[in-house]
Amino acid sequence: MNIAESIEWVEAHIDYGAWAARSARTGAVDLSLVRMRAFVELLGNPQRAVPIVHVTGTNGKGSTSRMITRLLMAEGLRVGTYSSPHLAAYNERFRIDDIDIDDTALADVLTRMADTEHALGDRLMPFELLTAAAYTWLAESRVDVAVVEVGVLGRFDATNVGDGRVAVVTNIGFDHTSGEGDWQQRLADEKAGIVKPGAHLILGPLDTRLEPLFLAQRPGAVWRLGAEIRLDADEPTEGGRMLSLSTPWQHFDHLALALHGAHQARNCALAIGAASAFVGHALKDSGTRSALGAVRMPARLERVRVSPTVLLDGAHNPDAARALAVALHELPIAGRRVLIIGVLAGRDPAAMLAAIGATSFDEVITCTPPTARARPAQELADAAVALGCPTRAIEHIDDALAAALAGAADDDLIVVTGSIYLVAEARDVLAH
pLDDT tens track for 261-285: 999 999 999 999 999 999 999 999 9
3-state helix, strand, coil in the chain (%, to 5): 45, 20, 35
**pLDDT tens per residue across span 40-52:** 999 999 999 999 9
Res. 293 pLDDT band, cuts 50 70 90: very high
Long-range Cβ contacts of 398-401 (<8 Å, 24+ apart): 398/425, 398/429, 400/340, 400/365, 400/367, 401/340, 401/426, 401/429, 401/430
Lowest mean pLDDT among 179-188, 252-261, 272-281, 341-350: 179-188
CB 311 within 8 A of CB 416: yes
Residues 6+ apart with CB under 8 A from 268: 67, 241, 243, 245, 255, 257, 259, 292
Share of the chain above pLDDT 90, in %: 88
Structure letter (DSSP) for residue 84: -
Cα–Cα distance for residue pair 130/151, rounded to 1 Å: 11
pLDDT of residue 360: 96
pTM above 0.85, yes or no: yes
Give me the domains of the chain, ranges plus CATH numbers: 3-294 (3.40.1190.10), 302-430 (3.90.190.20)
Cα–Cα distance for residue pair 65/83, rounded to 1 Å: 8
**pLDDT tens per residue across span 202-253:** 999 998 999 999 999 999 999 999 999 999 999 999 899 999 999 999 999 9
